[in-house]
Amino acid sequence: MNQITNRQAICDTLLQAAKEDKDIVVTCSDSRGSASLAPFAKQFPEQFIELGIAEQNLVTVSAGLAACGKKVFAASPASFLTTRSYEQAKVDVAYSDTNVTLIGISGGVSYGALGMTHHSCQDIAAFAALPGMRVYLPSDRFQTKKLIESLLADKKPAYIRVSRSATEDVYDETIDFILDRANVLGIGKDVTIITCGELVPFALKAAEQLRADGIDTGVIDMYCIKPLDEAAVLKAALLSKLIVTAEEHSPYGGLGSMVSQLICRKHPMRVITLSLPDGHMVEGTNREIFQYYGLDAEGMTRRIREAFASEAAV
């Protein structure tokens, strides 16, 4: 079982790159420990800035550094980064087109036991709505490494959300990665699940069980929420009988909404969206919350089986 978190993969990748590139700067809002960036701060103190618990300042200072030619990676808990500093992300990063990668750590329901004040289940919708802001939810450490390497090579704003816990490996060192292209792990003749982030391993297990039940099921890892890989979605819509989206997010404005809007415009068909509920949620670990709302492998399998049976009966 993999024990390396995506946030650790971010730190490892930046550590390696910073050995050769002194323009890389990491900023934090009293979160170097929880972001797994303490090793970077220790090894490259001159390329690390601690802003304290001041998310608005974090984003504005990061944008200022980027305007001076620095490649800035700003890390903070997603629940605070995407709400308290929303105006700064809008004006100083997205509108101003600065080379800042905003890293929302412990995203989704990673802080499940702390309740909804610490959840970030609106961040995809909020940040995708910002003109010029890209949104990424990598699924495992290998994809995260490739994503960071790609973002180091360009100069556009981006938001990355990663979980607090380690996710199961989906890929390995040989991962075929192209920025802003989804990883198509299979398109099912019956069902294709389009998902992202920590839910990808669950979707793969659900697809395996559904295939064993006679329902041909594929999975698309849509780590690039914005820009959405429209070609991958439409190909699945053409070849599958049912599209299912699964996300660790509110039912409004996230992956399910984007996929549904695209399919409605280009290839109308039924889309089932699996998400967290709107309103108060139960408290517990993120895995317990996934299980409660049917977003783990067993829950996806059950809900997709029921949806496909309903679709076949139409």
What would the pLDDT profile of 295-311 be if each residue is shown by its tens digit? 999 999 999 999 988 76
CA 131 to chain centre: 18
Q: Identify residue 69 by its one-letter amino acid code.
A: G
What does pTM read for this prediction? Answer: 0.96
Helix (H) or strand (E) holding 179: none
- Torsion angle (degrees, nearest 10) of CA 151, 153, 157, 158: -10
118 phi and psi, to 5 degrees?
-110, 5
For 137-146, what is the mean pLDDT? Answer: 97
What percent of the chain shows pLDDT beyond 70? 99
pLDDT value, residue 312 = 64
| CATH 3.40.50.970 domain locations along the chain | 6-161
| CATH 3.40.50.920 domain locations along the chain | 183-313
Fold designation for 183-313: Rossmann fold (3.40.50)
pLDDT tens track for 24-72? 999 999 888 777 899 999 999 999 999 999 999 999 999 999 999 999 9
Fold designation for 6-161: Rossmann fold (3.40.50)
